[in-house]
């Protein structure tokens, strides 16, 4: 029988992160939404706590050791609670970025020791390469004992505040996606320049940077995984997404739950409350709408937990990771927007956080692979088609 209750260890993570959201994130949420690019100094206390809770620390677990709920499950539980508080603040917790998940997933033990405590951002997107990661033009050429990087990256979350960046670059353009590798570039490396900070619709508490690399030299052993160009090589790079996509799905689950809970409270004040003892066809239109959104939310939550559990138990979860990301990303944005509509003027105004959650939720349907890309990945795997056969 499937047990859907969280074990005590994860209940502790859930409780701790919920307290952080209530006591720290919610009170300063609007402040840093208005003060874009201002670093939230209140988060400095979070660095050690985030590491202990596994936030953005997704990696592989060894089932032979009896691990059933490891860092991936801990991450999705923590991120759900933190994004119930504030998505932008969650993305700028010191010490834990998307690049840390990449390091945890594919780095060698020596690299994990060198880079594991650094706040690492992820640099994939380029002006000419968005959802199609195989179209990356940033190059990495081996020169003696150093890699030389040249190119430009955009939309790098925490790109200004981080201590290192995991950069995707090609070591052989003629090899296509097989030539794509990931490299760790530490902040302050000559040739690496933060070009600008973006102004955004949502997640304004989080900095989003454009970074250029001009003859940027890094040590030879800063490449994550093998430098060998092979058809299977790109799969190692893409393994990062198998860990981070459920985390982003969890973020959408968290912000959607925040919107649903506040909407129920506001509607209850107006005399509209869900009565689960009554048949759905005997409910009002508003009540029926709440039921549909709750069912959609629960489906996304369970898919996210499944993808994380599979990763922790050494099971291939690429399909499930994309399914959870596609479902939760769309669900989160749809529910947040619908909650604004149901609460009318109150939902649209700044006296409530509903309009902010709606703005924040949109990015969760975009980054780590857009809705359309996730559906394409799922279709390829379900139909057994290659990327060349199904575009």
* pLDDT tens digits, 108-163: 999 999 998 899 999 999 999 887 777 899 999 999 999 999 999 999 999 999 99
- Quote the mean pLDDT of the chain: 91
Q: Which residue in 163, 287, 355, 368 is the catalytic one?
A: 368
Tokens coding 172: 């052989």
pLDDT of residue 243: 87
pLDDT tens, position by position, 154-202: 999 999 999 999 999 999 999 888 899 999 999 999 999 999 999 999 9
- Nearest CA to 207 out of 309, 298, 119, 316 is that of 119
Q: Which residues pair with 126 in a beta bridge?
A: 129
Identify the burial level of 345 via C-beta atoms within 10 angstroms of its C-beta, where 0-12 means exposed, 13-18 middle and 19 or more buried.
Answer: exposed
Question: Are 104 and 126 in a shared domain?
Answer: no
* Strand-strand pairing, 208-219 and 164-170: unpaired
- Mean pLDDT computed over 12-24: 97
Nearest-5° angle of CA 22, CA 28, CA 30?
Answer: 115
Q: What CATH number is associated with residue 44?
A: 1.10.540.10
Angstrom distance (rounded) from CA 238 to CA 295: 31
Is 352 part of the annotated catalytic residue set? Answer: no
Q: Look at the chain and report how many structural domains it folds into.
A: 3
Please report, rounded to a whole number, the percentage of residues in the chain having pLDDT higher than 90: 72
Question: Are 104 and 202 in a shared domain?
Answer: no
Which of 159, 193, 224 represents a domain boundary (last residue)?
224
Which of 97, 112, 127 represents a domain boundary (last residue)?
112
pLDDT of residue 274: 82
Question: Are 327 and 372 in a shared domain?
Answer: yes
- 280 vs 285: which has the higher pLDDT: 285
Question: Are 367 and 259 in a shared domain?
Answer: yes
Q: Which helix (H) or strand (E) holds 337?
A: helix 318-342
Domain assignment present for residue 388? The answer is: no
Q: What's the domain range around 15?
A: 8-112
pLDDT of residue 1: 46
Question: Are 241 and 368 in a shared domain?
Answer: yes
Angstrom distance (rounded) from CA 349 to CA 52: 37
- Predicted TM-score (pTM) of the model is 0.92
Question: Are 220 and 338 in a shared domain?
Answer: no
Identify the burial level of 354 via C-beta atoms within 10 angstroms of its C-beta, where 0-12 means exposed, 13-18 middle and 19 or more buried.
Answer: buried
Which of 112, 141, 171 represents a domain boundary (last residue)?
112
Question: Are 297 and 333 in a shared domain?
Answer: yes
Asked if residue 50 has pLDDT above 60, the reply is no
**Least confident window among 60-74, 89-103, 142-156, 186-200:** 60-74
Please tell me what DSSP assigns to residue 129: B
Domain assignment present for residue 34? The answer is: yes
pLDDT tens, position by position, 318-354: 999 999 999 999 999 999 999 999 999 999 999 999 9
Asked if residue 233 has pLDDT above 70, the reply is no
What angle separates helix 285-312 from helix 318-342, to the nearest 10 degrees? 160
User: Exposure pattern of 154-191 as b/e (b: 16+ CB <10 Å)?
Assistant: bbbbbbbbbbbbbbbbbbeeeeebbbbbbbbbbbebee
Domain assignment present for residue 317? The answer is: yes
Nearest-5° angle of CA 122, CA 80, CA 199?
Answer: 45
Domain assignment present for residue 323? The answer is: yes
Is residue 236 very low, low, confident or very high in pLDDT (cuts 50, 70, 90)?
low
pLDDT of residue 240: 78
């Amino acid at each position: 029988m499937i047990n859907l209750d969280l074990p005590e260890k994860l209940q502790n993570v859930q409780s701790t992160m919920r307290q952080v959201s209530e006591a720290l994130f919610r009170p300063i949420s609007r402040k840093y939404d208005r003060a874009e690019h201002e670093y939230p100094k209140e988060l400095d206390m979070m660095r050690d706590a985030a590491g202990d809770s596994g936030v953005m620390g997704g990696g592989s677990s060894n089932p032979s050791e009896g691990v059933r709920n490891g860092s991936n499950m801990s991450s999705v539980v923590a991120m759900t609670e933190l994004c119930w508080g504030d998505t932008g603040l969650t993305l700028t917790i010191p010490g834990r970025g998307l690049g840390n998940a990449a390091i945890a997933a594919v780095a060698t033990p020596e690299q994990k020791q060198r880079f594991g405590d650094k706040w690492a951002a992820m640099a994939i997107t380029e002006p000419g390469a968005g959802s199609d990661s195989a179209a990356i033009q940033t190059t990495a050429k081996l020169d003696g004992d150093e890699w030389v990087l040249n190119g430009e990256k955009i939309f790098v979350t925490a790109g200004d505040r981080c201590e290192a960046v995991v950069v995707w670059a090609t070591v052989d353009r003629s090899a296509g996606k097989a030539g794509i590798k990931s490299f760790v570039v530490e902040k302050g490396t000559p040739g690496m320049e933060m070009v600008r900070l973006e102004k955004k619709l949502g997640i304004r508490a989080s900095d989003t940077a454009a970074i250029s690399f001009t003859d940027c030299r890094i040590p030879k052993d800063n490449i994550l995984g093998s430098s060998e160009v092979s058809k299977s090589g790109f799969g190692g790079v893409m393994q990062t997404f198998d860990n981070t996509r459920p985390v982003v799905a969890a973020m959408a689950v968290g912000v959607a739950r925040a919107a649903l809970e506040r909407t129920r409270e506001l509607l209850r004040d107006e005399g509209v409350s869900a009565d689960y003892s009554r048949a759905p066809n005997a409910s009002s239109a508003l009540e029926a709408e709440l039921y549909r959104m709750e069912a959609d939310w629960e489906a996304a939550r369970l898919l996210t937990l499944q993808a994380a559990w599979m990763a922790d138990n050494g099971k291939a979860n690429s399909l499930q990771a994309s399914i959870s990301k596609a479902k939760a990303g769309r669900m989160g944005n749809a529910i947040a927007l619908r909650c604004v509509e149901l609460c009318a003027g109150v939902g649209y105004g700044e006296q409530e956080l509903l309009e902010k959650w709606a703005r924040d939720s949109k990015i969760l349907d975009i980054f780590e692979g857009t809705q359309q890309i996730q559906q394409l990945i799922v279709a390829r795997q379900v139909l057994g088609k290659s990327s060349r056969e199904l575009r």
